[in-house]
Amino acid sequence: GMIGGSYGRLRELPAVAGREGVGIVDALGAGVRDVGVGAHVRFPEEGTWQEYACIDAKDLLVVHGSVPVEQAAVSFINPPTAYCLLTKIIDLPKGSWVVQNAGNSAVGVSVIQIAKACGLKTISQVRREALVEPLKAMGADHVVLEGSGWAKTVKELTGGEPVRLALNSIGGESASDQIKALGEGGTQVTFGGMVGDPVRFPTRFLIFNDVRLIGFWWDKWCKKSGPKGVREVMDAVYSMMNDGSLQVPIETTYSFAEYKEAFARDKSPRLGKVLLTP
């Protein structure tokens, strides 16, 4: 989205690309006390595709030492987004049902695992049959194919129990179908728009079913919550990564010199992340 010019906040050009990554502290300026040489740290929000950078210490986030560097490198956007979607929007008692489209997306696979760890039940929608079993292996309770009569299918899978939360990252008809599958007083959270099509649905769902539609953007949440709120979320993410209940799938790793191959692989069908290393 950022490279394509469609992200919510764009940089002035020329600029170094990359939004997510881990660096190793090589040297410290005078007076820096909160981070040490050799520590793994989160880069600032932008410009991660470089070998060296001079960064203000207050803009760094120290990674828990026990988190593998590959997992840490992909821990700053999608896993905390998933955690916030499940824990910061509405109160979800254990056993609650959550539905999502794009279940194989980077956020989707984190939602599946975090929901499992929190005692929530998930129904994930995907477009390809080949994705069903891998997502179930990650902890998905149910995985259904797109276009399978969403509302009816959800009702059958939940045994008639209401769906409290729907997570939408596609838009268009997929989002509309989610709204129809929500239980009374349910909430749909939109955090992405892969197709960009309008979302159309009968307004009776708002009036008589008291359905709520809201948006979520991790960047904005961070600004509102401040460093303490971000640290709390990241501590929870790292805790799950440490105990094995949350692992971001890694497809493959390329060097900076192999960036063309990395871009090509990133555009092909896959379940895991593509990493770049110096």
HSE-up of residue 165 (Cα within 13 Å, Cβ side): 25
Beta strands 22-24 and 40-42: pairing type? antiparallel
> CA-CA-CA-CA torsion for 82, 254, 241, 225, nearest 10 degrees?
-40
Q: Do 165 and 190 contact (CB within 8 A), yes or no?
A: no
The class level of CATH for 78-218 reads alpha beta
Cis ω before 227 (30° cut-off from 0): no
Angle between the N-to-C axes of helices 218-243 and 78-87, in degrees from 0 to 180, rounded to the nearest 10: 100
pLDDT band at 140 (very low <50, low <70, confident <90, very high): very high
Instruction: Establish whether 259 is a catalytic residue.
Output: no
Q: Do 22 and 41 contact (CB within 8 A), yes or no?
A: yes
What is the pLDDT, as a whole number, of residue 45? 65
Supply the DSSP symbol for 38: T
Closest CA to 99 of 122, 76, 116: 122
Angle between the N-to-C axes of helices 106-118 and 218-243, in degrees from 0 to 180, rounded to the nearest 10: 60
Q: Is the pLDDT of residue 46 over 80?
A: no
Beta strands 250-255 and 163-168: pairing type? unpaired
Binning the chain into helix, strand and coil, the percentages to the nearest 5 are: 35, 15, 45
DSSP 43-110: --SS--SSS-----GGG-EEPPTTS-HHHHHT-SSHHHHHHHHHHTSS---TT-EEEESSTTSHHHHH
pLDDT in tens, 226-246: 989 999 999 999 999 999 999
pLDDT band at 221 (very low <50, low <70, confident <90, very high): very high
Q: Is the pLDDT of residue 69 over 70?
A: yes
Higher pLDDT, 278 or 252: 252
For the chain, the domains span 78-218
Q: Is the pLDDT of residue 91 over 70?
A: yes
